[in-house]
Amino acid sequence: EFYNMRRQEVAKAQPNAAHTGLAEMEKKYEVFIVTQNIDDLHERGGSSQILHLHGEIFKMCSSSDLSCITEIRKDIQTGENAPDGSQWRPFIVWFEEPVPLIEEAMLIMQQADIFVLIGTSLQVYPAAGLMQFLPPSIPKYIIDKKIPSVSHYQNVISIEKTATEGVEELLRELL
């Protein structure tokens, strides 16, 4: 029920200026978005390359085989089974489950020319550890109302603003 309610709420939500601003960057840069968010606001905001580390609210998977995935826009009902006979469940990484896309995210970090971190306290692992895979010399933009501790990284540019205001400033600088 919890995820059914979240799915309904996400369907009503709209992308904000930060989402559309990141999509705007695709006109000049190859942009990869690695997000812990399970919504589809980046997709609806126009971004084309999104890696959802913690899953996606508009997908469901087999309880027995997490690779058996399908789209869903309605509620998941108890007793509604996947082709393998197990209960469908939200395609969401739950606490204490592995994050299957973390290695792909590490590769994206290793190949980055510019890095932008938006709206996170850097407290949720393993995603919070992804910055350690960045090349030390690249610019690292940190956008948040309260900048987390990043003093041990080189070339950090702090933008202490909301996501929408910070992305607007980032666009002025990079585009």
Range 25-29 contact pairs with CB under 8 angstroms and sequence separation of 24 or more: 25/171, 25/174, 25/175, 27/175, 28/174, 28/175, 29/114, 29/174
> From the candidates 19, 42, 52, 54, which is the catalytic residue?
54
Single out the residue of 157, 108, 159 nearest to residue 130, CA to CA: 108
Single out the residue of 172, 138, 173 nearest to residue 156, CA to CA: 138
Angle, helices 163-174 vs 17-24, to 10°: value is: 20
Tokens of 33: 């978005």
Judge whether 54 counts as a catalytic residue. Answer: yes
Q: Is 170 helix (H, G, I), strand (E, B) or coil?
A: helix
Q: Is 12 helix (H, G, I), strand (E, B) or coil?
A: helix
**According to the 3-state scheme, what is the secondary structure of 64-90?**
CCCCCEEECCCCCCCCCECCCCCEEEE
Active site residues: 54
